[in-house]
Amino acid sequence: MSHPNLLTSTREPLDVELKVKTGEIPKDLSGFVFINSGAGTVNSGGLPYEKTLPNGEFNQEYGSPLINGDGYMFRFDLTSSGKVKLKTRLLKPPCYYADIATSPFLNGEESLYSDLAFKNNGLARMSRKLGTRNQLNTAITPFRVPGDSQARLLATFDAGRPFEFDPESMNLITPVGENRFWRAGTPPIVNSLFPMILTTAHPVYDPETNELFSVNFTKTNKALLDPTKIFDFLFRDDETLEQKLEEKIAHWKHYDSKEKVAQEVNDFFYAANVVPKRKSLWENLKVLFHRLVGYRISNENAVYLVKWKGEKTPQTFKIVNEDGSPIDIEHNMHQIGFSKDYLILADTNFKFTLDVMVNNPYPKNVKIDSFLRELLTGAQNDYSSLYIIPRSKLLSQEKEVKAYRVILPVETVHFSVDYQNDNDILTIHTAHNCCACPAEWIRYYDRCKVTQAPIDVQRVGLLAVGEMDIGKIGKILIDVKNRDVLESKSKFLHLTGNLDKMDPGPHTWGVGLYTYRDMLSPDANVNKIEYTFWQAYGLSDQMLTEFMYDLYRNSDRNRVYSAEEMLEFCKKGAPFILQCVDTKTMEVTDHYSFPKNTFMWSLQFVPSSEQNINIPWSLNGYILCTVIGEVENNESLTSYFSEIWIFDAKELNKGPIVKLYHEELQFAFTIHSVWVKEAVNVSVPSYKIDIRKDYNQQIKRMKGRRLRKKVQSLMAENVYPQFT
State how far the Cα of 220 lies from the Cα of 198, in Å rounded to an integer.
13
State how far the Cα of 395 lies from the Cα of 280, in Å rounded to an integer.
53
Beta bridge partners of 122: none
- Cβ contacts of 90 within 8 Å, gap of 6 or more: 11, 13, 39, 70, 71, 72, 73, 96
Per-residue pLDDT reduced to its tens digit, 229-247: 454 555 555 666 777 778 7
Cβ-based neighbour number of residue 466 at 10 Å: 31
Amino acid at 62: Y
> What strands, in cross-sheet order, belong to the sheet with 400-402?
204-206, 211-218, 302-308, 315-320, 400-402
> What strands, in cross-sheet order, belong to the sheet with 131-132?
119-121, 124-127, 131-132
As a three-state string, the secondary structure of 628-661 is EEECCCCCCCCCEEEEEEEEECCCHHHCCCEEEE
Beta bridge partners of 52: 58
Beta bridge partners of 532: 581
**Segments in the chain below pLDDT 50:** 223-229, 231, 274-279, 281-296
The pairing of strands 152-157 and 139-143 is: antiparallel
Distance of alpha carbon 318 from the chain centroid: 24
Sort 277 into a burial class: Cβ within 10 Å, 0-12 / 13-18 / 19+: exposed
- The pLDDT value recorded for residue 275 is 44
Per-residue pLDDT reduced to its tens digit, 542-570: 899 999 999 888 878 889 999 999 999 99
State how far the Cα of 114 lies from the Cα of 126, in Å rounded to an integer.
13
Give the CA-trace dihedral at 512, 89, 34, 132, to 10 degrees.
50
- The pLDDT value recorded for residue 228 is 43
Beta bridge partners of 120: 125
State how far the Cα of 391 lies from the Cα of 343, in Å rounded to an integer.
6
Inter-helix orientation angle 239-252/366-376, to 10°: 50
Cβ-defined contacts of 390-398 (< 8 Å, 24+): 390/341, 390/342, 391/338, 391/341, 391/342, 391/343, 392/341, 394/305, 394/307, 394/317, 394/343, 396/315, 398/317
- The pLDDT value recorded for residue 297 is 52
Amino acid at 262: A
CA angle 701, 705, 709 (to 5 degrees): 90
Read out DSSP for 264-313? HHHHHHHHHHHS-TT--HHHHHHHHHHHHTGGG-----EEEEEEESS-SS
> What strands, in cross-sheet order, belong to the sheet with 587-593?
511-515, 531-536, 577-582, 587-593
State how far the Cα of 642 lies from the Cα of 665, in Å rounded to an integer.
7
What's this model's pTM, rounded to 2 decimal places? Answer: 0.93
Closest CA to 91 of 131, 42, 47: 42
Closest CA to 299 of 189, 191, 192, 220: 220
Max distance between CA atoms of the chain, in angstroms, equals 81
